[in-house]
Structures are given as C-alpha cells and as structure tokens.
Amino acid sequence: MKPLILCLGLLLVTLFTAGCASGMLTAVPKPTVPDYVSLQTKAATAEFKVVYDLRLKDLGKDAGSGQKIEYAKPPKRRTDTITSAGADSVYELEDGAYVCDNRSGSLGCARVDVPPAVLNRLRDRATGASGDFKETRQVLEITAYCYLSPNRGNSRPLPDDNAESCYSADGVLLASSIKTGRFETTLLATSYSTVVSDDDFRLPATVLNLPATDAPAGPNPNPLSALFASHIAANVPNDADFPLFLDRDLTKYFQGRYGKVVRVGWEMLREGPTQTGIAYPKYYLWVRVSNEDTLLSEGAVRAAAIAKERFEVTDFLDREHIRQDRGVISAIFPATVADRILGKVGPGE
C-alpha cells in the first residue's frame, strides 16, 4: 500500500510541476489601485447624480443631519444641501455661479461672482492635491477607493484632523469624513445615477445679481440694498424680543451641548446683522458659558436670525480650539470679526 501512495504522491507532484512549466497555473495579479490625482481628473469629466446622507458631529455627539445632492454634467454642476434650517443650491453654469435658497421663506436665486476657493467651500468639496490609499469599500455595491489626506481646512491641523474620501473608479465621491478638531462631517451615498437631465440645471426662480460680499447690513448705495433690508426685516426679531430670544436660544444650545444647566453671557463682535446674498442674517458673538460659578467655555459664535422668532447657532469655536488652530476662524468669520476674535483669544501655542 505504501509504495502505491508514494507513487500517487510523486505523480501529483509531477503533474503540478508540469502544469506550472506549461503555464496551466498563473499568479493572480493584485488589484490595481487608481492614483488619487487621476481620480480627481476623471471626476472633472464624469456625468452623475448622487444623493448623500449628511451627518454632523461635535465631540462625537450628533449635531445635525440632512441630505446633499450632487449633479454633474460637465461643465455644469449643481449641489443641493437640505437641513432642518432649510434648503439651498449652488449652480455652476457656463455663464457663472448662482446660489438659490428658500431660507427667507420664499425661493430666490442670486448670481454671484465667487472665487473658486470660496465656491469649493460653499460646496464642501473634500478634495485635495494628494491622498494616501487606505482601503476599498463597497458603497451601493460599487467598489470605492478610499484615501486619507490632511484636512486642508486647517492651517495647523490637530493630530486627528484628516479628510477621508472614497471614490468610484470614475472619480465620483461616494463617501467622505472630514474631521476638524472636535467637529466631524460625513457624507454617504444612498443613490447613484449616471443619467442627468439638462432640466436639473434650470434655475428655479428669478435671478438677482448680488455681490459676493460678507458685509454688515446698513446704509448701502447698492440698488439691491432694499433686497438685503427685506431679508433682515423678515428674520430679525424686534428690539424688545431680540435679547430675550437670543438668551433663550443660546442657553438652549449650550445646555444641549453640555448636558447641564448653564448661564450664557454674550457680547456682539460686530454690531448689527450681516447679510450675505439671500441667506439668513448672521450675528457674530463672543460667549461665556458657566455652570454656577464654574466657567465651562468661552468662544466665538455665529448665529442666524430666523423668521423673527428664533436664533440658530450655526458655528461655535471655543477658545482652546482657536488657539490650537488660529486659521480655522477664517473659514467661518469675516476678516474684521476674525481680528476681534484673535484679540480675545490671545497668543497661540
């Protein structure tokens, strides 16, 4: 029996060796990983519509959610953002850039002269010049190639700051996660199509030409000052209600943030509302948040006045965050306000 088993073993070895020699067995090649830059190049010519689930976190806790929809039919692009505060759209068309929203209670569109860097920030593009391959994932049964790159929203990134983005082989973004200090924004594709209609790029309302400025509202020789004034009048509470509503809504925001009873002191960093295009009027404040006699935090707040009834905190940067990354304020606050913030923060690390 043993000689028979030995002969069969030798026969199998002989067949295996012969097979290798004759090319019957070949090595399986490793999957090719697309170069990050080449994916960005492909994305510029890709035609698609993608619906994303949008999630916001602050210190790991849910801070908001919504939906983002990207349309591309080069050279035209459109991005819709839908949250509890309302909906807005950014259109990039052959003749310029447009912003449309319904946050003042009625749908309106404005043509704006927007530098590419600002337009990218409006559209929250999570792209950069380079990225290190991390892994592949399946998103909507599509192979997504995921890359890590520094968070370019920070001039001085913290150790955990990064932008992770996952793309299809055609360069279409399928998922992303952007971390900036305590904040994280994630996108995950829930629907993907390569069929895009020209009707998707038709502006939904009459177009007004608005300057792409972030100037404080007030006496303005611009013929569109009446439009700015109408947005302010429709959203800013009257003088008697203003401090009451602001106290109420700041307290509500920070009690939810810290999970305890708080007292909020505030001062204006810029007097009066700031009107940008047709968005809600914004106020910039410095706040001090305390619990009994204990100071919990202090920092800069951007708050939107909505429907003359409430304020919504859209951004809060605490003092320590700003000290660690002084450049982060420029993405949120106008230059003159940023200077006042830096004066309160003091020297950086």
pLDDT tens digit string along 215-226?
444 444 333 444
Per the document, the length of the chain is 349
pLDDT tens digit string along 154-197?
333 444 557 889 999 999 999 999 876 667 889 999 999 999 99
Q: Does domain 36-209 have CATH number 2.50.20.10?
A: yes
Helix (H) or strand (E) holding 85: none
How crowded is residue 193: how many other Cβ atoms within 10 Å of its Cβ? 11
Are 108 and 100 spatial neighbours (Cβ–Cβ below 8 Å)? yes
Tokens of 306: 């909505």
For residue 286, the one-letter residue type is W
Question: Is the whole-model pTM more than 0.75?
Answer: no
Mean pLDDT of 79-102: 81
State the virtual CA torsion across 126, 130, 132, 136 in degrees, nearest 10: 50
- State the span(s) of the chain assigned CATH 2.50.20.10: 36-209
Q: For residue 319, is pLDDT > 60?
A: yes
